[in-house]
Amino acid sequence: MSAVTFTGCRLVDPASGTDAVTSVTVDGGLVTGVGERGGREVDAAGLVCAPGLVDLHTHLREPGREDAETVDSGTAAAAAGGYTAVCAMANTDPVCDHAGVVEQVLRLARDAGHCDVYPVGAITRGLAGEQLAEIGAMVAVGVRCFSDDGLPVRSARVMRRALEYARTWDAIVANHAEEADLTEGAQMNEGELSSLLGLTGWPREAEEVMVARDLTLAAGVGARLHVPHVSTRGTVELVRAAKARGVRVTAEVTPHHFALTEEVAAGYDPVYKVNPPLRTADDVAAVREGLADGTVDAIATDHAPHAPEQKAQEWVQAPCGMLGLETALALTLTELVDEVVSLPQAVALLSTRPARSRDVSGHGGPIVPGAPANLVLFDPEARWTVDPPALRSRSRNTPFAGRKLRGQVVHTLLRGAFTVRDGRVRGE
């Protein structure tokens, strides 16, 4: 690898507090200069150079559902979206509840080489909510976060033990926030529209009572809690109040929860079916306030690929979930930047803060000499239209098909090597 200098870019690096037009030199896998020249020059005028994006919530589906996604296809999609690190959720088959699956996913990710993968371990064996998974053994192979995502830990006793256990290693527990007694057969947000459509409602309280319980338990234990996919005003308020009293909590919001409302369900197109469900304009306003005032730490995708024949079933039968990795940056730029958050805040929400919240070192900046060159360069003004067949994911279930977005990834670099160059994923 020889030196490359990106010239004339706007360097936005929240970790060092930099927002300036400059040049960035990369050599031997590291950032070697800022504001200097050297090696081959790549004209980056008009591009933003930021730390590579970090996703706290990605479903790579392998092992078990390779028809929907693989580690290779999912991490290629991640690189295309500007990501250099993703946290892979544990609800695979077999479940990632012991070190063997963690090591398998790490090996597959290394072989693919598109993006660093940080496996999330299950909280309980087989996601069954009863016996704790092999948390210590998974910590020993590098796992920092535990989640039964998709399924809540229903027992307060088990959740409390998980928090106590995680605290031993200062690890993080991310409980899927859904009180399942309140969501029996639930299909979409509970309200006038669900009654009108004849679909069983999914009350906000199902999320909020679980978050309230978990915040209470985490505060008591002194452990780190992460709240995934916040979807309601009430949850934003719970997290804000908990942070104010010093609870060690972080929270994420997905692009679909800040960009879409329940109204899209009216056509019964299951591409809009997701857990937790899309909510109302008031909830969208509240999660946007949470992103703006720092209550929410991260924009996370909950990238949830489903094979076409699965997702194309009738609404009631169709599985929950949406693609996210290839549209998150552009949705953030289109929907939030300038109106809700500044560009540096957006980069912090997509990279710096998620990296810190998950103890991911070498990602999220700072972009300074000596740091690993994990970078994204994107054109913040480029317009493009979401075209499902053009996505790198193996699945097609994006709710944003046909949507015109602003902001396009031009280059992604993982330890100085291009994983995306001029908009093309390496190996394509």
Return the active site residues: 302
Amino acid at 377: L
Dihedral angle, C-alpha 226, 359, 149, 121, nearest 10 °: -140
Of 42 and 88, CB closest to Zn ion: 88
Q: Which is nearer to Zn ion, 275 or 352 (CB)?
A: 275
Binding mask 94-113 for Zn ion (x = CB under 5 A): --------------------
Nearer to Zn ion, 18 or 58 (CB): 58
Stretches 41-49, 105-113, 217-225, 297-305: which one binds Zn ion (CB under 5 A)? 297-305
- In the complex, the smallest distance separating the C-beta of residue 125 from Zn ion, rounded to whole angstroms, is 19
Stretches 113-121, 146-154, 189-197, 411-419: which one binds Zn ion (CB under 5 A)? 146-154
What does the block give as tokens for 352?
A: 């710096």
Smallest gap, in angstroms, from Cβ of residue 176 to Zn ion?
Answer: 7
Dihedral sign (CA 274, 279, 285, 287): negative
Contact pick of 62, 148, 302, 326 for Zn ion (by CB under 5 A)? 302
HEC string for 78-122: HHHCCEEEEEECCCCCCCCCCHHHHHHHHHHHHHHCCCEEEECEC
Nearest approach in angstroms of CB 112 to Zn ion is: 21
In this structure, the number of other CB atoms found within 10 A of the CB of residue 145 comes to: 26
CA distances from 45 to 7, 380, 384 (A): 7, 11, 19
Tokens representing 270?
A: 């299951």
* Residue 203 Cα distances to 41, 191, 278, angstroms: 55, 8, 11
The DSSP code for 62 is T
Closer CB to Zn ion, 149 or 207, in the complex? 149
Interacting span for Zn ion (CB under 5 A) from 118-126, 145-153, 265-273, 308-316:
145-153
- Least Cα distance to 135 among 104, 110, 159, 108 occurs for 159
Closest among 243, 262, 141, 256 to 195, alpha carbons compared = 262
Q: Which two tokens stand for residue 127?
A: 């996601």
Q: Smallest distance, Å, CB 399 to Zn ion?
A: 15
CB of 61 to Zn ion, least distance (A): 11
Contact 207, 231 (CB under 8 A): yes
Task: Choose which of 27, 149, 214, 379 interacts with Zn ion (CB under 5 A).
Answer: 149
Interaction of residue 283 with Zn ion, rule CB under 5 A: no
Contact range with Zn ion by CB under 5 A, out of 24-32, 66-74, 214-222, 295-303: 295-303
> From the CB of 228, what's the least distance to Zn ion, in Å?
7
**Of 65, 57, 73, 142, nearest in space to 111 by CA:** 73
Q: Interface with Zn ion by CB under 5 A: which range of 11-19, 106-114, 301-309, 335-343?
A: 301-309
Q: Which is nearer to Zn ion, 276 or 407 (CB)?
A: 276
Closer to Zn ion at the Cβ: 9 or 271? Answer: 271
- State both tokens at 413: 């670099």
Contacts of residue 226, Cβ cutoff 8 Å, sequence gap at least 6: 56, 145, 147, 172, 173, 174, 249, 250, 251, 252, 357
Residues forming contacts to Zn ion in the complex (CB under 5 A) are: 149, 302
